[in-house]
Structure 1
Amino acid sequence: MGINKLFFKYVSLNVLGMVGISLYILADTFFIAQALGSNGIASLNLSIPAYGVINGIGLMLGLGGASRYSILSAQKKTKTAQKVYAQSLIFGVIIGGVFLVFGLFGSGLIARSLGANNETLASTSIYLQTILFFSPFFILNNTLQSFVRNDGDPSLAMSGMMIGSFLNIVLDYIFIFPLDMGMFGAALATCIAPISSIAVLSIHFKRATNQLKFVFQKLNWIVLKDICYLGATGFINEIASAVVLFLFNTIIFSLEGNLGLAAYGIVANISFVVLSLFTGVAQGAQPLLSDSYGKRDLSKIKHVLTLSIITALVISATVYLTTLLFKSGIIAAFNSDQSTQVAEMAATGLIVYFIGFFFAGINTISTTYFSATDQPRLALFFSLLRGGVLIIPIVLLFSYLWGMNGVWMSYVAAEAIVVLWIVIKMNPRKRIRQAK
């Protein structure tokens, strides 16, 4: 299969799967908005940082482990590649168990630390406790997704994501409305999704093409350090989103209270969907980049990288144009209280904040490229730059100068600065020369 067809096969399947995952976050937002109003959206928004940490660990183990697995497999180091696979899964289950304990005994404390007040504490605590209790499945699912995709089965990886997402949307409606389970129902529906996805992914291990062999073993900290270091961009990107969300929540609450949080909840949850599309492109390109790097194929690396960036820019333009044309309808779908103040703030946020997608898409592709070609230092540096080093001082300054408009503009400014820096540092030809 030609490189173009292979690229669009991997990317389209992965983007489709990520759309499915994003839809169940939007389903949560929509159903909670209808059933619980602005306070429900605010509670969901306050819970997202914790979900981001869990998701980030799964992505770190998946991206780092699968990138190393693909590079080693391309170099015919099969035994070492299998060790990377086993270590990723074992460590993921252990970390998931730690989060489970936190969920059982510390959800209220975590909710308060994330900014929940008397109006949102109960529902935020319930959502957090449920998500944390099921965290081993979230982490294991994200990790397996990457390995199955890198083992030549992107169609099954997509099917797992889509089936889990569809089931979540159906259960969201059933749990929240007919069964009247409220916030717990929304969280439980979300948590069943990764379990069903894992069940679908397990089909891969019965296929003749399967090269993934699990052997139980003691934790090897050298291997784990390499996995985590190489995949740190996935973790940092999620943590960055959580940090930004927490910081924005705090600043917006001080500026506009719970109505401001509700407006940001609309912008943030739609943003989550768009960013997941960029992640889908990046994760779809990653196996091809890692394989090409393992084989020292410079032309293929450059071609895949170019296709990835063009695809991200097309997505950005499509999303922004659609938002401009249909922003009123988008806002109305999530503004069940029909608050004029929420609608006005969200409308400005969609127009200004979404400009940042043109830069964020390139940055997401680039950090994944650095990880896929065994450049963890650059991947980690730019992820940290996006996640806090730039945006924290910028949002503090901009919000002080321009209020809510400054909050929206800070995201655009931070992503634009990172793009300029990445352009200076990215040099695939130099990377191949260094690796020889």
Structure 2
Amino acid sequence: MSSMNLLDQPLHKSFIHYVSLSLFSMFGLSLYILADTFFVANGVGQDGLTALNVVIPIYNVLNGIGLMLGLGGATRYAISHGEQQAEKGNQIFTATFFIGTIIGIGITIVGMLFAKPLLTFLGASGEILPLATDYFSLILFFSVFFIVNDIVVCFVRNDGNPNLSMAGMLIGSLANIVLDYLFIFPLQMGMKGAALATVTSPMISLLILTLHKRSSTRKLSFVRFKWKKEDIFSTFSLGFPSFITEFSSGLVIFLFNKVILTLVGNIGVAAYGIIANISLVCVAIFTGIGQGIQPLASINFGARRQDNISKLMIYGFSLTLLIGLLFYSIGLLYADPIIQWFNSEGSAQLAAITKKGIHLYFIAFLFMGINIVSIAFFSAVAKPRQSFILSLLRGLVLIIPLLLLFSSLFELTGVWLTIPFTEVLTLVLTLFFLKRYFETPKNHQLK
């Protein structure tokens, strides 16, 4: 579906179509790590679960870079099509793909040279270090595929083919789940098997996405391009909030691991690993809603259809509130069976720590969705400053002092309450930014 055809479609139908497919795509992406968590917990045990949680911040960095380039570039691509500048859009795509490839190769080289110091810094030691090394080395070696896959998914979605974007992500994730089982259980490959299954997923997704070249409505293609500083800067600035969101997620896991280790030791890190990886699913769904809205908001912004943008936000916020309430209710009512899936050794202490954590940590889902969708929205309408501030606030500025303060006052209970308080405080500024945007006509123009 081209950008002009998209503008002619009923908005609610476009919203349902794009958001549902993007939502399922991001749900599939979250299964990369969740499947590893489940199979590692049951196939390797508590030490494997701890090692996995130590390494996850590296995955967040890779995904953050991919989404920064993908969402930033794809937003410019969609705006260019809304302004009837298709050639400029393809130049942005080609440059973004090239930059992502170079960064991925660079990360692989640096990671291979400094693997042990990096893992030690992240908190791997003793019997955890060799398990973490097995997973870490493979993820970094194939880092370029994670980054490039995120880029291509975003551009294919914004080129009017959200169905294929969803198919690539879901088929890749399904392959990851199947291979996780095969490598960890029948083949007894342990952490290396989990990592090998994970790196296979973006490769399969990219193969699926190459089918986009057969689409009759495809406008996306590689072209010769010149390095234009303003386009590169715009791509990075529009996508940077997504990087901050992902990077901060990794940083939060790192900081939480450090604090929890001092409070209760490795079993606390294992409990947090369960909570953090389950929460990835809800965060991914919220992110999927934001990414589904993004091409619609960008195209309507480029076409100056402000009434459609207002309706999009009403649809998006209604859906996030419903999903947030659903996830919180699931955590409140079904914590015990969820914990059993990851507690293969039947540890009563692990179960008790995790259950309390779920009940407190999941309160954040009642507020988180509006913040995440708003961050995506401000990027989509070329307002990176607001998006950046909100990303920084919920990802770094509030979390770090709240974590240190609450953990010193309330110990582990304070750790679990850090994220809910962060989301509530961020929501105050989010609502202020939204009110000012919709009440100020000059905000509705591309600068």
Structure 1 counterpart of 2:119, one-letter code:
A
Q: 2:112 aligns with which of 104, 108, 123?
A: 104
Report SS of the residue matched to 1:208. Answer: coil
Q: 2:394 aligns with which of 386, 395, 405?
A: 386
* CA distance in 2: counterparts of 1:319 and 1:184, whole angstroms: 32
Deviations 1:111-170 (A, max 9, x none): 111111112111111211111111110000000001000000000000000100010000
* CA distance in 2: counterparts of 1:434 and 1:196, whole angstroms: 41
Q: Report if aligned partners of 1:391, 1:414 keep a CA contact under 8 Å in 2.
A: yes
Structure 2 counterpart of 1:396, one-letter code:
L
Q: 2:298 aligns with which of 283, 290, 295?
A: 290
Do residues 74 (structure 1) and 68 (structure 2) align? no
Kindly state the Cα deviation for residue 105 of structure 1 after the two structures are TM-superposed: 2.2
With over 3 angstroms needed to count, the CA separation of the structure-2 counterparts of 1:217 and 1:433, relative to structure 1, is closer
State the partner residue of 1:16.
24
Do residues 199 (structure 1) and 218 (structure 2) align? no
Q: Report if aligned partners of 1:75, 1:295 keep a CA contact under 8 Å in 2.
A: yes
Q: 1:356 aligns with which of 357, 361, 364?
A: 364
State the partner residue of 1:366.
374
Do residues 180 (structure 1) and 184 (structure 2) align? no
State the partner residue of 1:131.
139
With over 3 angstroms needed to count, the CA separation of the structure-2 counterparts of 1:88 and 1:432, relative to structure 1, is farther
State the partner residue of 2:220.
212
Matches within 5 A, 1:8-407: 8-217=16-225, 219-407=227-415
Report SS of the residue matched to 1:61. Answer: helix
Kindly state the Cα deviation for residue 223 of structure 1 after the two structures are TM-superposed: 2.1
Kindly state the Cα deviation for residue 428 of structure 1 after the two structures are TM-superposed: 3.8
Q: Report if aligned partners of 2:86, 2:219 keep a CA contact under 8 Å in 1.
A: no
Do residues 433 (structure 1) and 426 (structure 2) align? no
* CA distance in 1: counterparts of 2:112 and 2:425, whole angstroms: 41
Kindly state the Cα deviation for residue 51 of structure 1 after the two structures are TM-superposed: 0.4
Kindly state the Cα deviation for residue 20 of structure 1 after the two structures are TM-superposed: 1.8
Q: Report if aligned partners of 1:255, 1:403 keep a CA contact under 8 Å in 2.
A: yes
* CA distance in 2: counterparts of 1:119 and 1:336, whole angstroms: 19
* CA distance in 1: counterparts of 2:329 and 2:41, whole angstroms: 25
Kindly state the Cα deviation for residue 215 of structure 1 after the two structures are TM-superposed: 2.0
Q: Report if aligned partners of 1:102, 1:132 keep a CA contact under 8 Å in 2.
A: no
Kindly state the Cα deviation for residue 22 of structure 1 after the two structures are TM-superposed: 1.8
Kindly state the Cα deviation for residue 81 of structure 1 after the two structures are TM-superposed: 1.3
* CA distance in 2: counterparts of 1:386 and 1:205, whole angstroms: 39
Structure 1 counterpart of 2:438, one-letter code:
R
Kindly state the Cα deviation for residue 219 of structure 1 after the two structures are TM-superposed: 4.3
Structure 1 counterpart of 2:36, one-letter code:
D
Structure 1 counterpart of 2:424, one-letter code:
A
Structure 1 counterpart of 2:96, one-letter code:
S
Give identity over the alignment, percent.
44
Report SS of the residue matched to 1:231. Answer: helix
* CA distance in 1: counterparts of 2:160 and 2:443, whole angstroms: 28
Kindly state the Cα deviation for residue 228 of structure 1 after the two structures are TM-superposed: 0.6
* CA distance in 2: counterparts of 1:122 and 1:235, whole angstroms: 29
State the partner residue of 2:6.
none
* CA distance in 1: counterparts of 2:298 and 2:439, whole angstroms: 16
* TM-score, normalising length: structure 1: 0.98
Deviations 1:32-68 (A, max 9, x none): 0112111101111011101000000000011100111
After alignment, is 1-10 or 395-404 more displaced? 1-10
Question: Which residues of structure 1 form unaligned runs of 5+?
Answer: none
Kindly state the Cα deviation for residue 69 of structure 1 after the two structures are TM-superposed: 0.7
Kindly state the Cα deviation for residue 298 of structure 1 after the two structures are TM-superposed: 1.2
Q: Report if aligned partners of 2:306, 2:444 keep a CA contact under 8 Å in 1.
A: no
Structure 2 counterpart of 1:35, one-letter code:
G
Q: Report if aligned partners of 2:286, 2:372 keep a CA contact under 8 Å in 1.
A: yes
* CA distance in 1: counterparts of 2:79 and 2:103, whole angstroms: 25
After alignment, is 283-292 or 24-33 more displaced? 24-33
After alignment, is 210-219 or 262-271 more displaced? 210-219
* CA distance in 2: counterparts of 1:78 and 1:285, whole angstroms: 21
Structure 1 counterpart of 2:49, one-letter code:
I
Q: Report if aligned partners of 2:91, 2:224 keep a CA contact under 8 Å in 1.
A: no
* TM-score, normalising length: structure 2: 0.95
With over 3 angstroms needed to count, the CA separation of the structure-2 counterparts of 1:432 and 1:232, relative to structure 1, is farther
Q: Report if aligned partners of 2:328, 2:366 keep a CA contact under 8 Å in 1.
A: no
